[in-house]
Structure 1
Amino acid sequence: MTVTTWDQDVYADAMRTGRGPLYLRRPDGWLLPLDVERWCGHVDATDRLVLARCAGPVLDVGCGPGRFAAALARLGVPALGVDTCPSAVARAIAAGGAAECRSVFEPLPGEGAWRTLLLMDGNIGIGGDPLALLRRLRGLARPGALLMVETAPVDVDERLAVHVDNGRGGRGRLFPWARLGPSALRRAAGPAGWRVAEEWTCAERAFTALRPVR
């Protein structure tokens, strides 16, 4: 599967500066704000609920500027972030995390051996095909692994064509994305070889933990 990377000018600039505004925009004008400052900061209380469930080795898919990879490194938990944006990966490494500039659909280190996998900040949308992404992660996971997914906080199930927009006239090319809420993720999990183990919400953010189906 080929994944179109986020715009390497608009998005990369936000990763370098650690500041927004930044949005996903549909051709009809619909906007989804992206929380660049939170992504580029330290883990918060809600993130720490995810960290508490992590056992190494951890693969952070679409790690962005690497706040989870850096926090896990400080805790002594082996972790690797992967992202397709070089500026995001550079920021993750500068923050103290281990990260590589790769797509999750490319060959990765430790295939079949990851104990925890992360899809935070809506990254179930990577590639625009959640089922394909979940199946790929099933192949990366070891038996009994834990996959934690941050979904949309509302029940939504949509496939989008979007571009990154900085609200100041800068925008990238269209690429496929997806938005899933908790119910939609539950529907996608089974056909991809996962079962729901836990669901929780905190600070208006929604999370689902999945385990591989034996």
Structure 2
Amino acid sequence: MTLTLPWVDDPFAEAMRTGRGPLWLSRADGGRVQLDVERWCAPAAGADHGLLRRCLRSDSPVLDLGCGPGRLVAELLALGVPALGVDVTRAAVARTHGLGGPALCRSVFDRLPGEGRWGAALLADGNLGIGGDPDALLRRVAELLAPEGLLFVEVEAEEIDERLTVRVEGADGRCGPPFAWARLGADATAARAAKAGLTEVERWSSHGRRFLALRHDGIGPVG
């Protein structure tokens, strides 16, 4: 029996090769959340610019976790900010390389360069859901950041805090393997981040998207 992996052996990988959707995260209860493939594969625009300006102000190299096709990495480099993308999908990493951006085909939970020394990190485009365990993910990001380093995280527009099992579904109805995912609003994210030693310093909304800036206080997880 061949092991299949989400984001690797499912319609997402094909969408990264073609730059086109539509794709959805399909829930076990029949609900679907559309993935914004065309926006991810286009140049940085809209709410991305406010996010990138804050990265500029951090005056630090940026680690983009779940970089996808690399639009944020490419734009950071164009602005003169050193950046590295990380993604588990080879097609996404290849697309980032095609834009001239450095990227590694790894999980955020794998060994990464510069652990404990990154001045800034990104979790954009729903990537707070990675692994379906936001507490574990936020603790991992805290390990990657230097003391006083900043995490810029995109959260859900509504105040939710849910863990669920989903599949990536393509336009033809084909689905990849099931995997754990999470969706959190701003309040739930700030509360869980505090337990990981990440303190909220700003929240903002732009073009229908919502974000938090969190600072690593240099202290380990609480509890």
Q: Please give the range of the TM-score, normalised by the shorter of the 2 chains.
A: over 0.9
Percent identical across equivalent pairs?
Answer: 54
Matching residue's letter, 1:37: E
The CA deviation at 1:213 is: 2.2
Aligned equivalent of 2:77:
73
Report 1:164-179 matches (<5 A). 164-179=168-183
TM-score w.r.t. the length of structure 2 is 0.92
Aligned equivalent of 1:201:
205
Report 1:52-71 matches (<5 A). 52-54=53-55, 55-71=59-75
Secondary structure of the corresponding residue to residue 164 of structure 1: strand
Matching residue's letter, 2:111: P
Structure 1 residue ranges, 4+ long, deviating more than 2 angstroms after superposition: none
Quick one: distance in 2 between partners of 1:169 and 1:7? 17
Matching residue's letter, 1:39: W
Aligned equivalent of 1:100:
104
| Superimposed CA distance per residue, residues 76-117 of structure 1 (whole angstroms, 9 cap, x where no aligned partner) | 211000000000000011012111100010000011111110
The CA deviation at 1:179 is: 0.2
Quick one: distance in 1 between partners of 2:171 and 2:31? 12
Report 1:19-168 matches (<5 A). 19-54=20-55, 55-168=59-172
Quick one: distance in 2 between partners of 1:91 and 1:188? 33
Aligned equivalent of 2:221:
none
Q: Is the 8 A contact 1:152 1:180 kept in 2?
A: yes
The CA deviation at 1:7 is: 4.3
Quick one: distance in 1 between partners of 2:54 and 2:143? 21
Q: Is the 8 A contact 2:131 2:137 kept in 1?
A: yes
Quick one: distance in 2 between partners of 1:29 and 1:135? 31
Q: Is the 8 A contact 2:6 2:168 kept in 1?
A: no
Quick one: distance in 2 between partners of 1:8 and 1:109? 26
Number of equivalenced pairs: 211
Q: What is the Cα-based RMSD across aligned positions, in Å?
A: 1.0
Q: Is the 8 A contact 1:5 1:85 kept in 2?
A: no
Q: Does 1:187 align with 2:188?
A: no
Quick one: distance in 1 between partners of 2:217 and 2:176? 38
Q: Is the 8 A contact 1:6 1:175 kept in 2?
A: no
Matching residue's letter, 1:146: L
Unaligned runs of 5+ in 2: 219-223
Quick one: distance in 2 between partners of 1:186 and 1:9? 32
Q: Does 1:8 align with 2:9?
A: yes
Quick one: distance in 2 between partners of 1:62 and 1:184? 21
Quick one: distance in 2 between partners of 1:153 and 1:186? 14
The CA deviation at 1:183 is: 1.0
Secondary structure of the corresponding residue to residue 45 of structure 1: coil
Q: Is the 8 A contact 2:109 2:140 kept in 1?
A: yes
